[in-house]
Copies of this chain bind each other. A is one copy, B any other.
Amino acid sequence: MRKRSRTPEIIEAMSRAQQIAFGPFVFAACVSAKRLGMLKVLGQSGGLTREELAERMHLSPYGVKVLADMLVPAGVLRSEAGKLFLTKVGECLEWDPLTGVNLDFTADVCFKPLAHLEEAIREERPAGLSEFGPWPTVYEAMPHLPPQVLASWLRFDHYYSETAFREALKHLAGLAPRRILDIGGNTGRFCELALKALPQASVTLIDLPGQCAMARSNAALAGLGERFATAPVDWLDPEAMPETGGPADLIWMSQFLDCFSPDECRSILARAQRLLAPDGTIAILECILDNQDYEAAHMSLAATSLYFTAVANGNSRFFRRDELAAILADSGLDIEREIHPIGASHTLFLCRSAREDGAC
């Protein structure tokens, strides 16, 4: 594109394309500046020269200058009369908890694995996980991840799910469920919160045998006697059914269906309905890509989907609303209520069997 053909539209597109091409530099500069204390020192000052900043940070003037060279055009710092100041964007990067969780998740869990994204898509496996070790999925890798990687992963996971679980439980309390099945309950965190919030309820966690064992060793769940049980199952075996000991009045699935293909979802939902009492509810908590109020939340979900691709399992992504709605309709489930937002970006679907023969 020669200069004479540079219309404002092309200049803007070119500018955005270079922002993308240099995005990893901006990201790395922000993470480094934050971890080296540069954002904090600047935020607590009324503006500093590069030399003053270097002295306070016990860093070379070169280091401060080369970071500032990038952080100023990136909008994180402002340079005025020879002094550097932190912008609102810089304040978010330093002090906002959501931004901090996202930044650390990208830096520690996803950054180097993303170099394998093309391979992951081509081969339909989480090829980026090889940066940490030889595991087939992140679920097997979890207990062996380096401490900083695991810590950033857990903080990301908990930040989003903790608030969502607590808010969802307020809505579930109105249903006064007695027997709950937590399908895909993983570490048992939802079981823990549910047993606290709903003193009349008992919960059975249903997951792979490894996850069931992990949940049984969860100290907060031990000692609850008959109120907590586990039932192992591998839903990918199309005949498999967990032993739940009787119909449930509430089945809970949190970010569970998004781990499966549409056909697998239909098969799982058909079998799940056989575990449900006639008036029972299936409560599905999902992040729906196109249900988001903020552009940033939309991008956050799209990024998390790519984490599934490159690091986690190679085949998950968050649903668009029409995709999930079609699966539920195909499975004979009516959406009775749809509550959004739950937490930062989740949607809660309360569903009932439309078919009379759907319940046992």
**Which chain A residues have a beta carbon within 8 Å of chain B's beta carbons?**
1, 9-32, 35-36, 59-60, 62-63, 65-67, 69-70, 72-76, 87-89, 91-93, 96, 98-99, 102-103, 106-107, 110-112, 114-115, 117-118, 121-122, 124, 261, 289, 294-296, 298-303, 305-310, 315, 317-318, 320
Known contacts A22-B106, A36-B121, A317-B66; A17/B73 CB under 8 A: no
- Are A93 and B20 within 8 A (Cβ)? yes
Nearest B residue to A38 via CB reads B121
Residue numbers in B under 8 Å from A20 (CB-CB): 23, 26-27, 30, 74, 76, 89, 93, 103
Known contacts A14-B99, A21-B99; A32/B70 CB under 8 A: no
Residue numbers in B under 8 Å from A110 (CB-CB): 24-25
Known contacts A16-B89, A32-B121; A25/B63 CB under 8 A: no
- Are B300 and A18 within 8 A (Cβ)? yes
In angstroms, Cα B102 to Cα A14, docked, is 12
Nearest B residue to A289 via CB reads B69
- Are B59 and A122 within 8 A (Cβ)? yes
Q: 4 nearest interchain CB pairs?
A: A23-B23, A13-B88, A17-B92, A18-B296
22 pairs from A and B in contact (CB 8 Å cutoff): A14-B294, A14-B296, A16-B75, A18-B99, A18-B300, A19-B296, A20-B23, A20-B74, A21-B106, A22-B106, A22-B300, A22-B302, A28-B114, A59-B121, A60-B121, A63-B122, A63-B124, A66-B121, A66-B308, A69-B305, A69-B318, A73-B295
Nearest B residue to A71 via CB reads B302
Q: A20-B23, A29-B306, A69-B320 are in contact. List 14 more A-B contacts (CB 8 A).
A: A10-B88, A12-B88, A13-B89, A13-B91, A17-B99, A19-B296, A21-B106, A22-B303, A35-B118, A36-B122, A62-B124, A69-B301, A70-B303, A73-B295
Interface of A is mostly: helix
Residue numbers in B under 8 Å from A30 (CB-CB): 20-21
- Are A69 and B302 within 8 A (Cβ)? yes
Nearest B residue to A119 via CB reads B32
Known contacts A23-B24, A28-B310; A70/B305 CB under 8 A: yes
Q: Looking at the complex, which one of B22, B69, B75, B317 makes contact with A62 (CB distance below 8 Å)?
A: B317
